[in-house]
Structure 1
Amino acid sequence: MPEIQPFRALRYSPAAIDDQARLICPPYDVISPSLQRELYEASPYNAVRLELPMEPDPYKAASERITRWLQSGVLTRDDEQALYPCFQTSTDSAGHEHIRKGFFCALRLYEFSEAQVLPHERTLSGPKADRLNLFRETGMNISSIFGLYADEHLEVDRLIGEFVDGNEPVMDEEFQGVRNRMWKISDKGLIARVQQVLLERKAYIADGHHRYETGVAYRKLRAAENPSHTGREPYNFILTYLANIYDEGLLIFPLHRMVHNLQGFDPGEFIKRLEADFSIRQLKGRGELSAYLDAHTSEHAFGVVTSRGTFGICLKGMAAAILDGVVSGPLQQLDVVVLHEIVLRRMLGISPEAMRDQANLVYTENDCEVFDAVRNGDIQVGFIVKPTTVRQVMDISAAGEVMPQKSTYFYPKIMTGLLFHEL
């Protein structure tokens, strides 16, 4: 596995601020303008003011705030290097509780070609330019990437679990229905044992591809500017939350597709066109669709929601028979690839560029939103998909492939503001 290191985190000072629940926020890429305003109003010290400032020059605003908050004691630097376990507790729609367990560390940056850190998504130039400006102006990782590793014997889970059971968290706050508890491990012996277990394992990026690639670019810039560069400087590492793929609390939600603004779209004609490649069953709404998808555990099956009704569709033959020569074997196993290539591109004529730019396509993790949007006439057709599995993420990454945009939604998001990593 890539080298992981403890680090001296920059954190909010409990002595300066008593209600730390008002300080944390999601990562920048899921903060809507309305949530951004709401977070600004929550506290003059909310992490959104560093992660996604509203000022005309957001990068300068973030940098100046960091300086002021350090001087005033709002932010404080830990006096020793540490790893930071973080457990996130959430409840699903059925009322079941899930606890995802992981820890924050400093992860050494590698080129993807070195096959130490493996991606599964393509990135866009705009977000990377934005994050690079923030890195350069602030000299800090404000939000963490989310990485996975495979520890089938749960050795790291056991080591960290024993520590957590015997120590009080340094933070215990709830945000958007998710409880975030964080501890601090400074024991060098325990840290060394965690490092040793993970030494031979690869890291897979679950979330934060843009930030990771930005970290690599920033490292190159700093190394070129530093005649005394050794490779041990903090800028050679990036703030990372690592979780075990065998953790029972690791959840991936599906991201459903909603299509709009297609010229001449006719739902009846579209359903007829689907019959060429899919078996089709008309269903009585959301409940029957959920049961239909649950019953199709291995086939490429989807829900189709239109103004003419709700349908369950399942690919008749093998995906390879249709997709050979178009996409690789590992990608042919993914439902979203089958949906994008056969239905969205070939049948509906949505180009890869339009999908990337979301010209005709928007995404939601809430299937109720799909039904509501069709009912209200906001979209022309919605597609309900099953979640990508963690094993598929790892297989695609290991094969050097990348998934279509919005193939995974790891829940919950890693909160920004629990700690920061200085570069």
Structure 2
Amino acid sequence: MAEIQPLRGWRYNPVLSQQIDEYVSPLFDVVSRKQREALYQNPLNSIHLSVPRGDDAAGAALQRLQEWQQAGVLRQDELPGIYVYYQYFRLPGSTREFCRKGFMCHIRAYAWPEEVILRHENTLPASVNDRAELLARTEFQTSATHGLYRDDEFTLERWMDEAMQDPLYETTEDYQGARDVLAVIQDTNVIRQFQAVLARRQVILADGHHRYEGSLAYRQAQLAATPNATGQEGWNYHLMYLTNSAADDLRILPTHRLLLDLPGALTDAELLARLEPYFTVLPKEDAYDLPELIAGKPWAFGLYLQGGQAYKIRLRPEVHAQLSWDTTPEVKALDLTVLHFFVLEKALGLVGLDAQRQWPGVAYVRSFSECLTRVDAGEARAAFITNEVTMQEVEQVCHSGAVMPPKSTFFYPKTIGGFLFSSIRAEETTHPFLVELMTDC
């Protein structure tokens, strides 16, 4: 189903690549203000292209890109290829080193109704417009979105492992503690194998919904302006990192809900009283036991209030039928749907996901200890501790045609910006080797 193509990647020149840690950056939607300010101090860091500053930010990115290309800061590979990308990482409390295996390529920017690339969350129009404008001005992609394909036979891993015997470069440790390694496959016959596997599969978009929709918006504008388009123009394609969802090194971390305030100036006692018609509420002595107490239990959450009050709450099974949102059974079964409906809507009066998404009183926090610390410091009124969403749940929701509540998934580790750049300019996407592949496949 999915058409992929190799690309002639742009990369930092060989001298700069020896210190690649100095030039990579977090993705635009996860980089903190503090991180941005630190990275901006390096005049060659990729943050200047991915999250440019100024009144005309996209124009500033274009100017800097042109300067870097002319000065040889960035160089384009002579031959197109599939870029193999491995991320080595550990999880807190574990000594096991995971290795997430994947590859970066160009993939056709399919509209959602085509059901080739499937989404699991909605986007914010302002962020999509920002990404679309940046792409339109620069015709350059600074970081790959993350897509998932399922191959239970693990057909492609042997070629990826072989390429990794001769890597191009690697980070020592990126901002999230992962070690990132890049290699390239330029063998025509091997690339065809990658294309054949993906041609039989749908792709679930794990991360990068705003960047992907930015590509869709730019492609739509180009189609309207180019009535004689062949379909093979560079703007038909999008840079994506593809990993196998059948692998056991794909990790989705929980995203907890931190309530910075309670609507209507509710007291803690009033909040608990509003929860009791829907949940069993059990006091617990040690808040640090909450993740273990709810692990693997459907519709169970930890609740932490000021003064060190800790509770395990779990939805009463008989009330689940009251969940009246117009969505699929797969979405209704999710823990986070239960949390958003019965806590935010029923108990707190925030009716509907749109109202909840716009409410400034909720923060999405990945760190359990940060949740407790911020409540103890008086920065928040309550923390709801959640379980992670499973890969099976993501696949079920995507195939149902629905989307999850906001901030349902946090795929870990994140890809990094600046490791590989991709151009969609016409003169850079018509290499003879690439045309041959397009013709033969």
How would you bin the TM-score normalised by the shorter chain? Answer: over 0.9
Q: Quote the Cα distance in structure 2 between the aligned partners of 1:399 and 1:420.
A: 34
Check the 8 A contact 2:278/2:319 in 1, yes or no.
no
State the partner residue of 1:269.
270
Kindly provide the CA deviation profile for residues 82-124 of structure 1, in whole angstroms up to 9, marking residues without a partner as x: 0011111112111332211111010111111111110010111
How many angstroms does 1:159 deviate by?
2.8
Q: 1:14-413, aligned counterparts within 5 Å?
A: 14-16=14-16, 18-41=18-41, 43-96=42-95, 97-164=97-164, 166-176=165-175, 177-262=177-262, 263-294=264-295, 297-308=296-307, 309-318=309-318, 320-324=320-324, 326-351=326-351, 352-413=353-414
- In structure 2, what is the Cα distance between the partners aligned to 1:53 and 1:242? 26
Letter in 1 for 2:56: D
Q: C-alpha distance in 1, partners of 2:74/2:201?
A: 34
Is the deviation greater in 66-75 or in 283-292?
283-292
Displacement of 1:255: 0.6
Three-state SS of the structure 1 residue aligned to 2:152 is coil
Instruction: Output the TM-score relative to the length of structure 2.
Output: 0.91
Matched residues in 2 for 1:305 and 1:410: separation? Answer: 25
Rounded Cα–Cα distance in structure 1 between residues aligned with 2:82 and 2:57: 30
CA distance, structure 2, for counterparts of residue 400 and residue 318 of structure 1: 27
Q: Distance in 2 between matches of 1:214 and 1:376?
A: 39
Letter in 2 for 1:74: V
Give the partner amino acid of 2:74.
Answer: L
SS in 2 for 1:89: strand
Aligned to 2:419: 418
In the alignment, the residues of structure 1 paired with residue 79 and residue 318 of structure 2 have an alpha-carbon distance, to the nearest angstrom, of 56
SS in 2 for 1:71: helix
Letter in 2 for 1:376: A
Large movers: runs of 4+ above 4 Å: none
State the Cα deviation string for residues 367-422 of structure 1 (Å, max 9, x = none). Answer: 11111111111111110000111111111111110111100011111101011111
1:282-313 Cα deviation digits (max 9, x unpaired): 1123332122112xx24210001112501001
Q: What SS does structure 2 have at the residue aligned with 1:107?
A: strand
Distance 1:324 1:28 in 2: 35
**Residue correspondence of structure 1 range 5-16 to structure 2 within 5 A:** 5-16=5-16
RMSD value over aligned CA atoms? 1.6
Distance 1:125 1:59 in 2: 17
Conserved 8 A contact 1:171-1:183: no
The letter for the 2-side match of 1:261 is D
For residues 313 and 238 of structure 2, the distance between their equivalents in structure 1, rounded to whole angstroms, comes to 43
Work out the CA distance in 1 between the residues paired with 2:9 and 2:382: 47
Residue 93 of structure 1 aligns to which amino acid in structure 2?
P
Residue aligned with 2:15, SS: coil
Cα distance change, pair 313–27 in 1 and its aligned pair in 2 (3 A) = same
Stretch deviating more after TM superposition (320-329 or 216-225): 320-329
CA distance in 2, matches of 1:304, 1:134: 41
Indicate conservation of the 8 Å contact 1:259/1:382, yes or no. Answer: yes
Structure 1 residue 324, shift from structure 2 partner: 4.5
CA distance in 2, matches of 1:399, 1:358: 28
* One-letter code aligned to 1:148: L
Q: Specify the code of the residue in structure 1 equivalent to 2:315.
A: L
Q: In structure 2, what is the Cα distance between the partners aligned to 1:6 and 1:170? A: 19
Q: Unmatched 5+ residue regions in structure 1? A: none
* Contact preservation (8 Å) 1:223, 1:229: yes
Name the amino acid aligned to 1:7: L
Looking at structure 2, the residues matched to 150 and 319 of structure 1 have their Cα atoms a distance apart, in angstroms, of: 35
Q: Displacement of 1:44 after TM fit?
A: 1.1
SS at match of 1:30: coil
Q: State the one-letter code of the partner of 2:46.
A: A
Offset at 1:350?
Answer: 2.5
CA–CA distance in 2 between the matches of 1:319 and 1:169?
56
Between the aligned partners of 1:327 and 1:9, the Cα distance in structure 2 is 41
Deviations 1:20-68 (A, max 9, x none): 1110001111122221111112x21100000111222211110001101
Size of the aligned set, in residue pairs, is: 419
1:37 aligned counterpart, secondary structure? helix
What TM-score does the superposition give when structure 1 sets the normalisation length?
A: 0.95
Contact 1:319/1:333 (CA < 8 Å) preserved in 2? no
Letter in 1 for 2:120: H
1:225 CA drift (Å): 2.5
Displacement of 1:195: 1.5
How far apart in 1 are the matches of 2:17 and 2:405? 42
Tell me the percent identity. 33
In 2, the alpha carbon distance for the partners of 1:7 and 1:284 equals 56
Q: CA deviation at 1:163?
A: 3.1
User: What is the CA deviation profile of residues 181-200 of structure 1, one whole-angstrom value per residue up to 9, with x for unaligned ones?
Assistant: 01011011111112212221
> Contact 2:24–2:416 at 8 Å: present in 1 too?
yes
Deviations 1:240-279 (A, max 9, x none): 0001111221111111001123332111222232221212
